[in-house]
Amino acid sequence: MQNLLSKLNKTSYASSGVSIKRGDDLVSLIKPLAKTTYRKEILGSIGGFAAASLVPKKYKNPVLISCTDGVGTKIEIARKLKKYDTIGIDLVAMCVNDLVTLQAEPLFFLDYLVTDKINLKKSKEIFKGIAKGCKKSSCALIGGETAEHPNAFPKDNFDLAGFCVGVLEKDSKMLKNMSKKNDVLIGLKSNGLHSNGFSLIRKLIDKKKISLDEKIKKSSLGRVILKPTKIYVKEILSLKEVVSINALSHITGGGFIGNLERIIPDNLSASVSLMSKYHFHKELFTLIEERSNLTHEEMLSTFNCGIGMILSVPKDELDKTSKKLKTLNMPHLILGKVQSKGSNKKINFLNG
Give, for 60, the enclosing helix (H) or strand (E). Answer: none
Half-sphere exposure (CA, 13 Å, Cβ side) for 311? 28
Model pLDDT, residue 14: 79
Model pLDDT, residue 302: 95
- Residue 261 identity: E
Model pLDDT, residue 10: 76
As a whole number of angstroms, the distance between CA 107 and CA 192 comes to 27
| 171 phi and psi angles, rounded to 5 deg | -85, 10
Model pLDDT, residue 22: 87
State the burial class of residue 209 (Cβ atoms within 10 Å of its Cβ: 0-12, 13-18, 19+).
middle
Strand partners, 335: none
For the chain (length 352 residues), average pLDDT per consecutive 10? 59 78 88 94 85 94 96 96 97 98 97 94 96 98 92 90 96 83 97 96 96 93 97 97 96 94 94 81 96 93 96 97 97 95 84 62
Question: Model-level pTM greater than 0.85?
Answer: yes
Q: What is the DSSP string of 88-156?
A: HHHHHHHHHHHHGGGTPEEEEEEEEEEESS--HHHHHHHHHHHHHHHHHTT-EEEEEEEEE-TTTS-TT
Neighbours of 104 (CB within 10 A): 28
Please give the distance of CA 167 from its chain centroid, rounded to a whole number.
18
As a whole number of angstroms, the distance between CA 96 and CA 162 comes to 10
Model pLDDT, residue 175: 83
Domains detected in the chain? 16-175 (3.30.1330.10), 184-351 (3.90.650.10)
Model pLDDT, residue 344: 82
